[in-house]
Amino acid sequence: MFAGLDPLFLNGVTLEVFIIVLVKVVISFSVLLVSVMLMVWFERKLVSDMQNRIGPNRAGPWGILQTLADGIKLFFKEDLQPDASDPFVFKLAPYLSLVPAFLTFAIIPIGGNFKDKDGIITLPDWLGGESTYLQLADPPVGILLFLAMSSIAVYGVMLAGWASGSKYPLLGSVRASAQMVSYEAALGLALATIFLQSRSLSTHDIVADQAGAGWLGIVPHWNVIVTGFVPFVVFLIAATAELNRPPFDLVEAEQELVGGFHTEYSSIRFAMFFLAEFMNTVTLSAIMVTLFFGGPSGPILIDSIDWVFPIFWFLLKLFAFLFTFVWFRATLPRFRYDQLMDLGWKVLIPISLGWFLFLAARNVLADRNWNVGILLGVTLAIFMVGGLLLMGAIKSAAEQRELEETRF
């Protein structure tokens, strides 16, 4: 009934509504900051566990305040700016990284009972009795905001490298722009399958679409299952690349480029990049939970506190993804630049494109009552032909390159 619109705004914007929005802003801002702090600590602690060492254990209990200590240390360090740098862009770049990281989180539904109440939380009467979604904003463009923000973040990395006026950062930023731009394509195609499925861009609608039980009444109606896993796997890989996390961390490949794009950054400007990186990890994990794993949906065990469980399920799923990212880091060696591009353009994009078309055909089939057997047959045939064509193209391109490189 209220699809695409937060019920908070139904009665016009009153002071109460304004205060609620303000509180939501403060909460999501601080939750994100604290979660980043915990994420850094969690990553270091988990990696050290996997690597047979202790990890941070000095600041606070189990070293949990280590990030805070590091932050304070970075604050008080000298802010160096290379002579060869472009002063304005050099200072601008960290903000271009940091601000989009904050903004994306606004569209994530972090709670709300989607089973019976369409994700709407009604405040108790002594707080005004307003109803609202548990997400900061639910713009109709929804998930496109995320794509836009991640594109802007590329500028942060790219300009940082370019403005440093130094070679290692420049190489890092060249890698970054190529990598992030090409993986955004795969990311977008994987997203398109979700739009196809949920018939909406709004994150709230996407989550609402996934609520309830699907097949057999036990298997959840999550997009990861409904869209057939492939988009999810593509999205996960592309997201890792988008985040510049191992094994796709070429941008800051320490062993090759020292610090990559932020080699020349120090003090709080470096801290901003660092913060943005981890914030993006948290945000993208949250996006994946929202898009593929039903967001906050999950069994609600006690009806009287039905707002607690969705938040709990959301955090649990989020945690699982954060763990996965750390796990990647501890296990996998780094890709090489050209291999990364090959993976993006020759594997992920064709697969996600093909899968998108397949899902589209499936939807048409449902509408028009086509024959399932013929559809599967035709799809398989097209996939095979397309695959062969692609392989042929790759092979001939490789031969061509070899021919060009043969000297004298």
Partner 1 sequence: MTATEDLTPAAAVTSASAPLPEDAERVYRREDSAVLRMSEAEVAQLAIDAPAEALATNTDERTIMNMGPSHPSTHGVLRLVLELEGEVVKRSKPVVGYLHTGMEKTAEDLTYLQGSTNVTRMDYASPLFSELAFSLATEQLLDVEIPERATWIRMLMCELNRMSSHLLFMATNGMDLGAVSMMIYGWREREEVLRFFEMVTGLRMNHNYIRPGGVAADLPDGWRDEVLRLLEMIPPRLEEYDILMTGQPIWRERLQGVGVLNSTEALALGATGPILRSTGYAWDLRRDDPYLAYDQVDFDVIVGTYGDCFDRYAIRLNEIRESMRIVRQCLDKMPSGDFRVQDKKVTPPPRARIDESMEALIHHFKIFTEGFKVPEGEVYVAVESPRGELGCYIVSDGGPKPYRMHVRGPSFINLQTLPHLMYDGLLADGVAVISSVDPIMGEVDR
Residues paired with 22 in a beta bridge: none
State yes or no: residue 50 binds partner 1 (CB under 8 A).
yes
Which of 349, 144, 151, 338 minimizes the C-alpha distance to 234? 349
Nearest approach in angstroms of CB 251 to partner 1 is 12
Where does this chain touch partner 1 (CB under 8 A) — which range of 7-15, 50-58, 147-155, 210-218?
50-58
State yes or no: residue 407 binds partner 1 (CB under 8 A).
yes
Where does this chain touch partner 1 (CB under 8 A) — which range of 118-126, 165-173, 196-204, 386-394?
165-173
Residue whose CB is less far from partner 1, 47 or 69: 47
Residue whose CB is less far from partner 1, 116 or 399: 399
The only residue of 254, 320, 371, 384 in contact with partner 1, by rule CB under 8 A: 254
Residue whose CB is less far from partner 1, 312 or 337: 337
State yes or no: residue 348 binds partner 1 (CB under 8 A).
no
The torsion defined by the Cα of 71, 72, 78 and 80, in degrees rounded to 10, comes to: 20
With residues binned 3-state (H G I as helix, E B as strand, rest as coil), the percentages for the chain, rounded to 5, are 70, 0, 30
The only residue of 73, 77, 117, 167 in contact with partner 1, by rule CB under 8 A: 167
State yes or no: residue 246 binds partner 1 (CB under 8 A).
yes
State yes or no: residue 249 binds partner 1 (CB under 8 A).
yes
| Distance, CA of 253 to CA of 230 (rounded, Å) | 28
Q: Where are the alpha helices (DSSP H) in 221-307?
A: 223-226, 230-242, 254-257, 267-292
Q: Where are the alpha helices (DSSP H) in 76-109?
A: 87-104
The only residue of 1, 12, 15, 52 in contact with partner 1, by rule CB under 8 A: 52
State yes or no: residue 183 binds partner 1 (CB under 8 A).
no
What sign has the CA pseudo-torsion 37, 299, 6, 127?
negative
Residue whose CB is less far from partner 1, 126 or 408: 408
Where does this chain touch partner 1 (CB under 8 A) — which range of 24-32, 60-68, 94-102, 168-176?
168-176
Residues 6+ apart with CB under 8 A from 344: 179, 182, 183, 185, 186, 238, 241
Where does this chain touch partner 1 (CB under 8 A) — which range of 47-55, 138-146, 361-369, 393-401?
47-55
Phi and psi angles of residue 385, each rounded to the nearest 5 degrees, phi first: -60, -45
State yes or no: residue 368 binds partner 1 (CB under 8 A).
no
Report residue 100 as tokens. Answer: 């989009």
Residue whose CB is less far from partner 1, 5 or 258: 258
Residue whose CB is less far from partner 1, 24 or 175: 175
DSSP string, 325-340: HHHHHHHPPPPPHHHH
Residues 6+ apart with CB under 8 A from 192: 356
Where does this chain touch partner 1 (CB under 8 A) — which range of 83-91, 97-105, 243-251, 292-300?
243-251
Q: Do the beta carbons of residue 293 and residue 222 sit within 8 Å?
A: yes
State yes or no: residue 47 binds partner 1 (CB under 8 A).
yes
For the chain, how long is the longest CA-to-CA vector?
85
Q: Do the beta carbons of residue 296 and residue 112 sit within 8 Å?
A: yes
State yes or no: residue 51 binds partner 1 (CB under 8 A).
yes
Residues 6+ apart with CB under 8 A from 214: 220, 221, 222, 225, 226
Going residue by residue from 303 to 342, which x/- string records binding to partner 1, judged by CB under 8 A?
Answer: --------------------------xxxxxxxxxxx---
Going residue by residue from 256 to 295, which x/- string records binding to partner 1, judged by CB under 8 A?
Answer: xxx-------------------------------------
State yes or no: residue 395 binds partner 1 (CB under 8 A).
no
Which of 146, 181, 185 minimizes the C-alpha distance to 289? 146
Residues paired with 122 in a beta bridge: 131
| Distance, CA of 53 to CA of 204 (rounded, Å) | 42
- Total site size for partner 1, rule CB under 8 A: 33
State yes or no: residue 171 binds partner 1 (CB under 8 A).
yes
Nearest approach in angstroms of CB 203 to partner 1 is 33
Residue whose CB is less far from partner 1, 258 or 375: 258
Where does this chain touch partner 1 (CB under 8 A) — which range of 56-64, 242-250, 280-288, 367-375?
242-250
| Distance, CA of 276 to CA of 262 (rounded, Å) | 12
Per CB under 8 A, residues contacting partner 1 are 47, 50-53, 167-168, 171, 174-175, 246-247, 249-250, 253-258, 329-339, 407-408
